[in-house]
Amino acid sequence: MQRTQFGDMACSIARTLDIIGEPWSPLILRDVYVGINRFDQIQQDLGISRKVLTERLKWLVTNEVLDRREYSTGRYEYVLTAKGTELADLLLVMVRWGDRWTAGEAGPPVLYRHHACGEISHVEPVCSVCAKPMHASDVDVLPGPGAAGFAS
């Protein structure tokens, strides 16, 4: 079965999904973010097949989300690139949603302590210009310079 390619679409969401939209990719990214960064560790943590993990890691390295580094002769670990670190920010937004809507009575499985204030917190999107809260209901979607298919 051929995987749908979204990378050529004039849509930042589609292009992002082209890189990390396969269900294992965000989980691999999460593992590397929290320090589970060697192939066998990731494979054991996720219970993913070695073949699928190999394909996903190769894809994430090719797309410069992860970097593959030798830590011992013939042994490699994976680390986040700058691009991968920014994608980890996206995961924190997903965590916020998941904690709110899927955690159930048990509550969140993981807590996040903010380095700056030392408090347990969650991600809250804010405007990069005015620093006020920014949610989907607070914005208008307008065509940008790379838009295709928008009537202006």
pLDDT tens-digit series, residues 10-60: 788 889 999 999 999 999 999 999 999 999 999 999 999 999 999 999 999
How far is 132 from 130, CA to CA, in rounded Å? 6
Q: Is 85 helix (H, G, I), strand (E, B) or coil?
A: helix
pLDDT-based confidence at residue 152 (cuts at 50, 70, 90) = very low
CA distances from 130 to 123, 127, 135 (A): 17, 6, 13
The correct answer on CATH 3.40.50.300 for the domain covering 1-108 is no
